Structure 1
Amino acid sequence: MEHYYSQNPSVSHDENKINYKLNNIELEFITDAGVFSKKKVDFGSDLLINSIPQITGEILDIGCGYGVIGISLSRLFPSAKVTMIDINERAVDLTTRNIKLNHANNAGALQSDGFINVTGMFDVIVSNPPIRTGKKVIYPIFEQSINYLNANGSIYIVIQKKQGAKSAFDKLESIYGNCEMINKDAGYWILKSTKFV
């Protein structure tokens, strides 16, 4: 069965436009079949976006889908620089189009399986990870993330309690030596770990 985390979705295109209001910012996103949450901005991503504190540095959005998290943060924090990555070619194409659509001039997107094509270091990493891929895919991303964070940089993850939030908390704590739940709502947890040096 094909999933939104497939590298080259073969499902027929079914493009749509959705609107998303963030504070006083009106955003619009082109979505398509073969990408996650194509009919509306999902609850978890919205909660994550609204849980991130002020950022001025480099942001990496892993598993960006059609770009809602990274583009939202780029508009919220115009002095930051946002890089968005996804394994899904269709998602990256949509993100690139949505960057232009929303005038997110401080954002860019590229295709990458995990960190394979990522260069540079970041102050913040954010992700609404594709939990259904399983721990064998998700946990290596957690493990490698610390190598791409600057000193005192943080990773923020959204995950549902019923989909393994507690084990994700424990995993992040084992990697970083710390993890905190900074927000929760409707069964979704926002986890934060920081690379202290």
Structure 2
Amino acid sequence: MSADHYFTAEPDAPLRRGEIEFSVAGRDYRLAVASGVFSAGRLDPGTAVLLRKAGLPGAGTEGTLLDLGCGYGPIACVLASEAPRATVYAIDVNSRARDLTAENAGTLGLADRIRVAAPDDVPDDVTFAAIWSNPPTHVGKAELHALMERWLPRLAPAGTAWLVINRNLGGDSLHAWLVAGGWAVERVASQKGFRVLRVTRKSAD
């Protein structure tokens, strides 16, 4: 597997396609995957923990949701399946990842509610009722913090961000950095070396 999937707009890895299967909240998913995209061989363990331990939207959830760093779309497809009244933005810098997410959304009948986009193509006036992300910790603290600084402020006032971070790749330091930056952070789960963080705006005193 090529390591060029993080922050690579056009992967250099030769295209090798495959499929993965997984289940979330009683639903079975089969998604197309390909080389040059994050965790193409399986559902990433961090993503699996996030989908199992974070709060998923309910059937009555409305508004706009965000899958930040969508890869081939497992989170976006789960969100759109669980919340049929919501719109899900699935964003990634990787063009191959975006193509796969769009393909998987179409296969699952979700294409009308999953908006696949490059980060710079998301309209500036869009805010999100909730964000889910397994962010790219391997890019380093500076890039990770820049990612958070760009997207967390686009949460709606009462919105929630759910993040999964490898404990050994800065999970606790990111928690502390978010708190220092004025966010309310709760560690809601710790499983298989991953932290699941619930991030919200601090309430006014």
TM-score between both structures, scaled by the size of structure 2? 0.89
Aligned equivalents of 1:173, 1:74: Cα separation in 2: 30
Contact 1:99 1:108 in 2 (8 A): no
Q: State yes or no: 1:35 paired with 2:37.
A: yes
* Cα displacement (A) at 1:107: 1.4
Q: State yes or no: 1:89 paired with 2:120.
A: no
Cα distance change, pair 34–110 in 1 and its aligned pair in 2 (3 A): same
Contact 1:59 1:83 in 2 (8 A): yes
Letter in 2 for 1:4: H
Dislocated runs of 4+, deviation >6 Å: none
Aligned equivalents of 2:25, 2:67: Cα separation in 1: 20
Identity of aligned residues (%): 28
Q: State yes or no: 1:173 paired with 2:172.
A: no
* Cα displacement (A) at 1:23: 2.5
Contact 2:54 2:196 in 1 (8 A): no
Letter in 1 for 2:44: D
Alignment equivalent of 1:122, drawn from 128, 133, 144: 128
Aligned equivalents of 1:137, 1:118: Cα separation in 2: 19
Letter in 2 for 1:50: R
Aligned equivalents of 2:168, 2:202: Cα separation in 1: 29
Q: Which residue of 2 aligns with 1:3?
A: 4
Cα distance change, pair 54–24 in 1 and its aligned pair in 2 (3 A): closer
**Secondary structure of 2:181 counterpart:** helix
Q: Which residue of 2 aligns with 1:75?
A: 81
Unaligned runs of 5+ in 1: none
Aligned equivalents of 2:202, 2:114: Cα separation in 1: 26
170-179 vs 121-130, which moves further: 170-179
Contact 2:4 2:12 in 1 (8 A): no
Q: Residue deviations 1:114-151, cap 9 Å, x none?
A: xx322200011111111111112110111222321111
Unaligned runs of 5+ in 2: none
83-92 vs 136-145, which moves further: 136-145
Aligned equivalents of 2:56, 2:94: Cα separation in 1: 29
Aligned equivalents of 1:145, 1:176: Cα separation in 2: 14
Q: State yes or no: 1:106 paired with 2:110.
A: no
Aligned equivalents of 2:70, 2:169: Cα separation in 1: 19
Q: State yes or no: 1:154 paired with 2:160.
A: yes
Count of residues in correspondence between the two structures: 194
Q: State yes or no: 1:48 paired with 2:50.
A: yes
Aligned equivalents of 2:151, 2:3: Cα separation in 1: 26
* Cα displacement (A) at 1:176: 3.4
Over aligned residues, Cα RMSD in angstroms? Answer: 1.5
